[in-house]
């Protein structure tokens, strides 16, 4: 299935969103990921307590259980990276979102991509329902993440040509969350006047250069 590519950024200084909550960036305008992603999310700093504005909802355990029960009942093989993420609830509590995105996995998360038939798993939803992120079950061991303003489970939200509004935004789940974490940490720390780590500072400066260029 051929899809467009792009990354929706939010609040990253210099991104040029001009008052919009999100703006779509071409993938070649994104800083490269230089951290070794081993599939275990070990790059996320440990936290003693869940962070404010984290994507964790406090009820994800029960909702995850409903999803897993459906996946087992339909004999769907879930990627190892996704299973690892679900088995690490502390990871979710350390991922915060400037736009109030929340972990939305539930029994209804498993949906076919509009007009294609390929299955996808909705796992993250914008607070206002502006965007939805899905893991595309394309048969690979570590599948990509796609994003759309369309709720695949609600045909009333579909565009006339639905696949033109689905974007491949990350090659893997871990790559998605790493960039999501970087950009939101930069946003929160800049807003709160906190110092950026060298890693975050380098990412922000390279993003500014790429957006301007």
Domain ranges of the chain: 4-212
Among 148, 140, 153, which residue's Cα sits nearest to residue 169? Answer: 148
Q: Are 184 and 13 in contact (CB under 8 A)?
A: no
Q: Which tokens sit at 127?
A: 């607070």
Local confidence pLDDT in tens for the 213 residues of the chain = 889 999 999 867 766 677 788 999 999 989 999 999 988 899 998 888 888 999 998 878 889 999 999 999 999 999 998 999 998 878 999 999 999 999 999 999 999 999 888 999 999 999 999 999 999 999 998 999 999 999 998 888 898 899 999 999 999 999 999 999 999 999 999 999 999 999 999 999 999 888 765
Angle at 146 between CA 49 and CA 58, to 5 degrees: 25
DSSP code of 13?
A: T
Predicted local distance difference test score (pLDDT) of residue 206: 92
Q: The whole model's pTM is what?
A: 0.95
Q: Residue 14's pLDDT is what?
A: 66
| 3 state SS for 23-80 | EEECHHHCCCCCCCCCCCCCCCCCCCCCCCCECCCCCHHHHHHHHHHHHHHCCCCCCH
């Amino acid at each position: 299935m051929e899809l467009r590519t792009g990354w929706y950024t939010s609040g990253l200084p210099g991104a040029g969103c001009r008052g919009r909550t999100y703006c779509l960036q071409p993938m070649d305008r994104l800083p490269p990921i230089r951290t070794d992603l081993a599939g275990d999310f070990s790059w996320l700093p440990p936290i003693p307590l869940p962070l404010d504005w984290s994507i964790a909802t406090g009820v994800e355990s029960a909702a995850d259980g409903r999803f897993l029960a459906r996946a087992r009942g339909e004999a769907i093989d879930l990627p190892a990276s996704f299973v690892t993420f679900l088995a690490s609830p502390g990871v979710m509590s350390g991922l915060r979102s400037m736009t109030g995105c929340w972990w939305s996995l539930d029994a209804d998360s498993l949906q076919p991509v509009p007009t294609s038939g390929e299955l996808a798993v909705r796992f993250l939803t914008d607070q206002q329902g502006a965007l939805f992120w899905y893991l595309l079950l394309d048969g690979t061991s570590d599948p990509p993440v796609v994003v759309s303003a369309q709720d695949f489970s609600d045909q009333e939200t579909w565009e006339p040509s639905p696949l033109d509004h689905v974007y491949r935004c990350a090659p893997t789940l871990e790559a998605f969350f790493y960039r999501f974490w970087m950009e939101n940490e930069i946003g929160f720390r800049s807003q709160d006047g906190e110092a950026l780590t060298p890693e975050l500072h380098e990412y922000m400066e390279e993003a500014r250069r790429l957006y301007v260029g």
